[in-house]
A and B are shown apart, each in its own frame.
Chain A
Amino acid sequence: MLLLWQVGAAEYRSPYLPGPGDIYSAFVELVRHGDILGNTLWANIGASVYRLLIGFGLGVVFGVPLGLLMGLYKSVYRNIRAVVEPFRFIPPIAWIPLAIILFTGLTRYAFLIFLGAFFPVFTAALIGVARVEPIHRKVTLVYGASKVYVLTHVVLPTVLPDILGGMRVGLGTAWMTIVAAELTGGSAIGLGRMMVNYSELLRIPEVVVAMVLIGLIGFLFNEILLLLEKYLFRWRWQVTL
């Protein structure tokens, strides 16, 4: 496939249709000399990943306890459901104009990523609680287990696989959101920002380098979480992909 691409690109000789060779040299160039603003490629990646981890971390820190709580107290959730659920259908990108007005810098990015990560994690925890088997609760209650014990030793182990699954979905959404958020500006650094800078200069090879990196980094994060799942949930038949 790469070969076909290379041959096709060489045939066309258009600067807007770079071949794999052009992209590779653009990559090498970015690694060696940094981007047009003088930021190294690693600094760009680092900035994006840093924002991702902050926003994603916030999404998990709020999403998991709230999901568990709402799952355990269904009546509370039924009452606030009509207020909470519509937010799920507003794509994080649709929040960008508001985020630009309300926040600056890291806070803005963190807010947008948080929105991307929160709902998948929250929903996974909420739904997971419903899967707790009454018999598993009963096993511990017979021995006089406290509510806290049931939560930490029965509910949490049951829900954890769902939460990890939600985290993988949330991480994907969050990562896509960060790139979109960086496209809107506000900072001179970040993979999305770098992409805009080069696209404005019509330097397509660098744009494609950024695209490939975004894809690979997302994939890498997903694989890390999958490995974590495989390790944590070795008590299950298998971890489904």
Chain B
Amino acid sequence: MAATLTKPAAEAPDPRPVKVDVDVSHRYGTLPVHDGLKFTVRENEFLCLCGPSGCGKTTLLDILAGLLEPTGGRVLVHGEPVNPKRHNISFVFQEPSTLPWLSVRDNVAVGLRIKKRSADDVRSTVDDILGVVNLRGYENYYPHQISGGMKQRVAIARAFATDADVILMDEPFVSLDQPTRERMQAEVLSIWARKKGTVIFVTHNLEEAVFLGDRAIILSAKPARILADVRILLPRPRNTLSPEFTRLRAQFANLLNAAVPAGTGG
């Protein structure tokens, strides 16, 4: 049965072109953080990276964004070493990242303006994306006037506005309450369905990974290795209460538990 829900990525080659090619062995001082992490991400793929806390997920995202040079290996986007100036990278952070002195509209436009898009282009793109994330009518509000969930929607709108080569998301919903979190997950999927884009979504929440991903990579504790790399074949929209969903989640949980040595508490 399980075989119908997932497939090892190696056994089910994805026909889409490779967008991101990762081969990273990073050390922090003498401490190895990533031990030969090797994977590719296809165009318009939604990849979830899961791992126990402290497995270097945030460091990996910094490396993927080109903000941090790995001590070993490389990240290629379109076959070239990743560089924020050359490539079009978006990042949705775990903590609130709206700029408090800018209105909702100007926050969404940050990436477009840095990428020097024309004023007309910025206006129409921002208008469009604000509609997609249901923030119409809040254009002129400042971040302190809106809720935490709305701030995260602004950050997501900002990330999808630039038609990025890669959209990196670092546990973007971890600080939201459960109902808001579930609503935001559904919203991310609908934005992704509409705007398209290659997404690398980091989470330690397996349910989130099973709900969102085309594919999931399960990482071990530090130094991080790939424990499993599977395509999730559950049809969308996924029902988190269905037996298939629950079974897949349990399967991932077993993999992850096997990776955490007993008694370390993760």
A142 touches B101 (CB 8 A): no
* B165, chain A: closest CB distance, angstroms: 12
In the complex the two chains form, is B100's CB within 8 Å of A139's CB?
no
Residue contact B91 to A138, C-beta cutoff 8 Å: yes
With A135-B93, A138-B67, A235-B144 known as contacts, the answer to whether A144 contacts B100 (CB < 8 A) is no
Q: Write the A120-161 contact mask toward B (1 if CB under 8 angstroms, else 0).
A: 000000000000000110111111110001000010011000
Write out the residue numbers on chain A whose beta carbons fall within 8 Å of the beta carbon of B144: 235-237
Chain A contacts of B65 at CB under 8 A?
A: 142
Report chain B residues within 8 Å CB of A154.
Answer: 99
Q: Is there an interface contact between A139 and B110, defined as CB atoms closer than 8 Å?
A: yes
Q: Which of B22-30, B82-90, B252-260 contacts A (4 or more CB under 8 A)?
A: B82-90
The interface residues of chain A lying within 8 Å CB-to-CB of B96 are: 135
Check A145–B99 contact: CB distance below 8 A: no
- CB of A140 within 8 A of CB of B114, answer yes
Selected contact of A139 from candidates B83, B99, B142, CB within 8 Å? B99
B95 and A135: CB pair below 8 A?
A: yes
Given the complex of chains A and B, what is the CA–CA distance between A237 and B145 in angstroms? 9
Q: A154-B99, A236-B144 are in contact. Are A141 and B111 (CB under 8 A)?
A: no
Q: Which residues of B contact A143 (CB under 8 A)?
A: 84, 89-90, 110-111, 114-115, 162
Shortest C-beta distance, B265 to chain A (Å), equals 28
Complex: A230 Cα to B101 Cα, angstroms: 13
* CA distance in complex: A141, B91 (Å): 10
B97 at the A/B interface (Cβ < 8 Å)? Answer: yes
Query: Chain B residues with Cβ under 8 A from A157's Cβ?
Result: 99, 101
Residue of B nearest to A238 (CB): B144
The tally of residues in B whose CB lies under 8 Å from a CB in A reads: 26
Question: B37 within 8 Å of A by Cβ?
Answer: no
Expressed in whole angstroms, the Cα–Cα distance for A157 and B101 within the complex equals 7
Least CB separation from A142: chain B residue: B91
Interface residues of B in 139-161 (CB under 8 A from A): 142-144
Q: Does B102 contact A (CB under 8 A)?
A: yes
Tell me the interface secondary structure of chain B in the complex.
loop
User: Shortest CB–CB separation between residue A151 and chain B, in angstroms?
Assistant: 14
Closest chain-B Cβ to A143's Cβ sits at a distance in Å of: 4
Do B89 and A136 have beta carbons less than 8 Å apart? no
* Docked complex Cα distance between A204 and B100 (Å): 52
B95-109 CB mask vs A (1 if < 8 Å, else 0) is: 111011111000000
Is the pair B102, A235 in contact by a Cβ cutoff of 8 Å?
A: yes
Residue of B nearest to A143 (CB): B114
Neighbouring A residues of B102 by C-beta, 8 Å: 235
Cα(A236)–Cα(B91), bound, Å = 25
Closest to A145 in B: B114
Mask, A202-241, CB within 8 Å of B = 1, is 0000000000000000000000000000000111110000
Give Cα A235 to B101, complex, Å.
5
Interface mask (A191-210 → B, CB under 8 Å = 1, otherwise 0): 00000000000000000000
Once the chains are docked, how many angstroms separate the CA of A234 from the CA of B102?
10
Q: When chains A and B are docked, how far (Å) is the Cα of A143 from the Cα of B84?
A: 6
* Most chain B CB inside 10 Å of its own CB: which residue of A139, A149, A154, A157: A139
Residues of B within 8 A of A145 (CB): 114
| Docked CA distance A136–B67 (Å) | 14
Give the 4 A-B CB pairs with smallest separation, nearest first: A144-B85, A144-B84, A143-B114, A157-B101
A: residues with CB less than 8 A from B are 135-136, 138-145, 149, 154, 157-158, 233-237
10 contacts between A and B (CB under 8 A): A138-B67, A139-B91, A143-B90, A143-B110, A143-B111, A144-B115, A145-B114, A154-B99, A157-B99, A235-B101
Additional A-B contacts beyond A138-B93, A145-B114 (15; CB < 8 A): A138-B67, A138-B91, A139-B91, A139-B97, A139-B110, A140-B114, A142-B65, A142-B90, A142-B111, A143-B89, A144-B83, A144-B115, A233-B101, A235-B102, A235-B144
